[in-house]
Structure 1
Amino acid sequence: MSLTLNGVIKRDMENPEGKFPAEFDTYQVVNPGDFIFCMFDVEETPRAVGLSTYYGMITGAYTVLVPFKGNNKTFLYYFYLHLDSHKMMKPLYRGLRNTIPKEHFFSFKTYVPPLDEQTTIANFLDCKTAKIDQAVAIKEKQIQLLKERKQILIQDAVTKGLDPDVSMCDSGVEWIGEVPRHWGIKRFKYLFSQSNLPTRPDDGMVTSYRDGQVTLRSKRRLTGYTEAILEQGYQGIRKGQLVLNSMDAFEGAIGVSDSDGKCTPEYVICDPMLDDLLPEYFAFLLREMALSKYIQVICNAVRQRAVRIRFNNLKKRFLIVPPIKEQKAIVSHIQTQSVKIDKAITIQEQMIEKLKEYKATLINSAVTGKIKVPGAGEQRAVA
């Protein structure tokens, strides 16, 4: 099992992700109802407490604790989840790794309502948080659908154009299929040449991201590197050049630089050889090749799940070439529609964040008695 942001989950042994040990001798048994605490790197750990609903095992690095009888384990879970969400156990941290020694954790005093109130509060929070989680899941699904819509919009625009009534023909390019009949088809080497510019003393570091952004990297991320290391093998990059990250291109790290600067040899930098080529259009087209997994097919090396693509991998490949007027129209259409979709995604993300904040506040208020939970204490009051 693993302790994650979603609580305690079962690892998939058939399709494992992440590292697995050769042997499990140091693992410890976990039963349903056991608590799993992460007592090290607490400040940096997204979730330091979990309540298991499974029989299983977990690495010995975690602390597994069993609640005493006479306490509602779900109430205790919400209580410690509240403490963890606000990192309220800082006074217990020791050492550079923010470790909580067991003796300090066991000396930490926890207030406990009567068992019937614990149960009522736990049931109340189970009901309310389930509804909140359901609302979050719906919005996450909406975000996924918006991203898919954006991807389809880009794919249709760069491969079919903007005129739905245009005459089509087979492109002869396997991953594309039919394209407008009047579009051209040329090998990459007749469209772009590989840039080989020297670096300049005042060049900043340019980096790419998997959303296609290629821009100056923050200066603080250069801390610890000497100038000699930075310059060794580095190449100059100029605003407006087509850029592919050789290792992350297959995940979308392809774009047009918005800055002058320098970058590592792991970048493929290209200049258009013709006047009627718009780098932004071909960046969108190549990203579609990448996200359609076609780039993986044309690459000859894989390292740590990252495909390395070089100029030689691309130069013999055919690309479709719309007239320059259509290239500009397609790029403008994609950018305009992407802004609208990205705005809709941002709104959904903000709503998710507010729901999560409300959930944390609700848990905090319920387990600390700041709100009256229906049914809590009523039996005692009658008695």
Structure 2
Amino acid sequence: MRDLKPYPEYRDSGQLWIGNVPGHWDILPNRAIFEEVKERNHPNEEMLSVTINRGVIQQKALLENSSKKDSSNTDKSAYKLVCPRDIAYNKMRAWQGAIGASKYRGIISPAYVVMRLRGENSPWYFHQLYRTPNFAKEAERWSYGITSDMWSLRPEHFKMIYTPLPPPDEQTAIVHFLDHVNRRIDRTIKAKRKVIALLNEQKQVIIHRAVTRGLDPNVRLKPSGIQGVDDVPEHWDMPLLGRCLTKIEQGWSPVAAEGELEEGQWAVLTLSSIKRGIFDPLAIKPVSRTAMVPKDIELADGDFLLTRSNTRDRVGDVCLVEGVRSRTIPCDLIYRLHILRHLLLPKFLMYQLLSRYGRSLIERDARGSSGTMPKLSQGHIKSWRMLLPSTVEQQAIIDYIDAELAPISKGIDRIEREIDLLREYRTRLIADVVTGKLDVREAAARLPDEAESLDSDEVLDDSAEIDEMDDDAEGEA
């Protein structure tokens, strides 16, 4: 890909979001490329969703690892039919990337928009084009509403947007090339994620040994009486966690506002803020200024958080709050635990729940019916049996674990940065290719034929996908 070069001749497209285009490409308004489709009365077709991260997908794929339920109307006669190769978008979120070509036949909310290509153009080319940051900014420019959370890209305005149009055979070459690039990057990311998984397993072994046996190899032991834990130090207590807490608070999920978070505005933590003992203070969404926020659950540094619902491997994830902005609250899928610190140090509890023993407690009690995310009740949490030395010994164990995990965590951070750079490279490359800044015709011709894929097969972080989820609007288009 290093040998990719620009086209030999360019001209000004007249559109800021596109820039210069190859001299033989057309620049046409979307009304010349698409026709809007409003085919209804197919209530028995499969439900589809339009997402920011993955474009058009089957709704069952969106709901299978989620606590969200199907919010669609019982009467689906007004829902719009989507056929394979159609472009569908969420009017309220097109400017955030909720647009894509469909591989499926199904129906979507009547408030969404379905566009069908005229002529022999490739829908997969437009899928790649319309999911670039370049188009997102143009969609935002054409979206209207009093506030950002009401912005809507109406069909008549979508049709007024000018789009680059390579010849059909060149569209096919671009799609073929980008499919190949996506596969290569996906394979590299998958390999790096396997290394991260192995490093996380190594961390868990260190944590488990320290929080169930302590640091003294010659300590006298006693049978624990707990499945999965053999002997524990004789002088350790084994109280229920409820004895070490004053209360458990549940967060609150208000109406989220779109757009940038403003000074003094309340924000809500998303599930992706908590990941294997790490707190991400930037994983927040702005709260609508009209919301009546319960100020008593405002977060502070040092707070102990636990996810009460998430995907199977992330429910019960824990962290200590650090670097949180003022006027931030947890969402309703997060608990805040108030700990009696003369009995139990918060970081020791965090490590114990991150250990194999802690995960066994969580997995035993996490409940969820088919199609929903498992959940933990406050009663479950209070019933967990802790393995507790004195707070002095707890601190010594914390210091030991911190020192042992530091180089491993540094390695994980390095690999995650490499993954981020690969994603950034992919985003830039796609934008350059679909707007004609790089000529991929010869490169595409040299590539082997592969089964066509619509988009990257990279599996995104589950919590990010859950946080993104938006119930299908039910209003008429």
Q: TM-score, normalised by structure 1?
A: 0.70
Distance in 1 (CA, whole Å) between partners of 2:347 and 2:79 is 52
Query: Does the CA contact (< 8 Å) of 1:210 and 1:251 recur in 2?
Result: no
Q: Is the 8 A contact 2:177 2:440 kept in 1?
A: yes
Distance in 2 (CA, whole Å) between partners of 1:110 and 1:215 is 38
| 1:281 maps to which of 344, 348, 353 | 348
1:337 aligned residue (397, 404, 417): 404
For the Cα contact (< 8 Å) 1:40–1:99, is it kept in 2?
Answer: yes
| 2:102 aligned with 1:35 | no
* Alpha-carbon distance, 1:10 to partner: 2.1
Aligned to 2:110: 60
For the residues of structure 2 that align with 1:81 and 1:215, how far apart are their CA atoms? 26
The whole-number CA distance in structure 2 between the counterparts of 1:246 and 1:133 is 29
Partners in 2 of 1:253 and 1:318 — Cα distance? 17
Give the aligned partner of residue 182 of structure 2: 129
Judged with a 3 Å threshold, the aligned counterparts in structure 2 of structure 1 residues 326 and 75 are, in CA distance, closer, same or farther, namely same
Q: Does 1:9 align with 2:57?
A: yes
Check conservation: 1:254, 1:287, Cα contact below 8 A: no
The answer for the alignment partner of 2:421 in structure 1 is: 354
Distance 1:345 1:72, change over 3 A: same
What is the identity, as a one-letter code, of the residue corresponding to 1:142?
Answer: V
Equivalent residues in 2 for 1:1-383 (5 A)?
1-4=48-51, 5-12=53-60, 15=64, 17=66, 18-20=68-70, 21=72, 22-43=74-95, 45=96, 47-82=97-132, 86-96=136-146, 97-162=150-215, 169-174=222-227, 176-188=228-240, 192=244, 194=246, 210=274, 230=295, 251-253=316-318, 267-272=336-341, 280-286=347-353, 288=355, 291-294=359-362, 297=365, 307-309=376-378, 313=382, 318-322=385-389, 326-375=393-442
Conserved in 2, the CA contact under 8 Å of 1:2 and 1:10? yes
- Give the structure with the larger helix fraction: 1
SS for the counterpart of 2:225 is: coil
Work out the CA distance in 2 between the residues paired with 1:367 and 1:295. Answer: 46
Contact 1:117 1:377 in 2 (8 A): no
Distance in 2 (alpha carbons) for counterparts of 1:38 and 1:222: 20
Contact 1:171/1:185 (CA < 8 Å) preserved in 2? Answer: no
Give ranges in structure 2 of 5+ residues lacking alignment: 1-47, 248-268, 368-372, 446-477
Contact 2:204 2:354 in 1 (8 A): no
Q: How far is the alpha carbon of 1:140 from its aligned partner?
A: 3.3
Q: Following the alignment from structure 2 to structure 1, what is the Cα–Cα distance between the partners of residues 429 and 100?
A: 18
Q: Give percent identity, aligned residues only.
A: 26
Q: Secondary structure at the match of 2:59?
A: coil
**Secondary structure, in 3 states, of the residue corresponding to 2:50?**
strand
Distance in 2 separating the partners of 1:368 and 1:135 = 26
Instruction: Report the structure number with the largest CA radius of gyration.
Output: 1
Q: Which has the higher contact order (CA 8 A, sep 6+)?
A: 2
Aligned-pair CA distance for 1:192 = 4.6
Cα contact 1:121–1:376 (8 A) shared by 2: no
Say which SS state the counterpart of residue 371 (structure 1) adopts: coil
Q: Given that residues 255 and 280 in structure 1 are in contact (C-alpha distance below 8 angstroms), is that contact kept between their aligned partners in structure 2?
A: yes
Distance across 2 between alignment mates of 1:166 and 1:322: 12
Contact 1:256 1:283 (C-alpha < 8 Å) held by counterparts: no
Q: Secondary structure of 2:77's match?
A: coil
Cα gap change, 1:341 to 1:56, in 2 (>3 Å): farther
Q: Is the 8 A contact 2:307 2:316 kept in 1?
A: no
CA distance in 2, matches of 1:98, 1:62: 13
Deviations, residues 123-162 of structure 1 (Å, cap 9, x unaligned): 1222122212222333334334433433343223211334
Q: CA deviation at 1:183?
A: 4.0
- In the TM superposition, what is the alpha-carbon distance from 1:213 to its structure 2 partner? 7.2
1:214-247 deviation line (CA, Å, top 9, x unaligned): 99999x98988999x646xx89x9998x957696
> What's the RMSD between the two structures over aligned residues?
4.8
CA pair 338-3 structure 1, distance change in 2 beyond 3 A: farther
Name the aligned partner's letter for residue 54 of structure 2: N
Give the residue type in structure 2 aligned to 1:8.
V
Mapped contact 2:274–2:280 kept (Cα < 8 A): no
- Which residue in the other structure is 2:43 paired with? none
| SS of equivalent to 2:386 | strand
In the superposition, relative to structure 1, how do residues 224 and 296 fare at CA in structure 2: closer, same or farther (>3 Å)? farther
What corresponds to 1:199 in structure 2? none
The CA distance in 2 between the partners of 1:298 and 1:74, in whole Å, is 40
How many residues get paired?
351
Instruction: Check 1:7–1:323 CA distance in 2 against 1; reply closer, same or farther (3 A cut).
Output: same
The structural deviation recorded for 1:171 is 0.3
TM-score with structure 2 length normalisation?
0.58
Aligned residues of 2:134 and 2:431 also touching (Cα < 8 A) = no
- Partner residue in 2 for 1:201: none
> Which amino acid is the alignment partner of residue 292 of structure 1?
S
Preserved CA contact (<8 Å) 1:243 1:256: yes
For 2:128 and 2:291, how far apart are their aligned partners in 1?
A: 45
Q: Which runs of 5+ in 1 are unaligned?
A: 196-206, 379-383
* Gap change, CA 1:310 and 1:295, over 3 Å in 2: farther
- 2:439, 2:319 → 1: CA distance? 54
Change (3 A) 1:87 1:144: farther
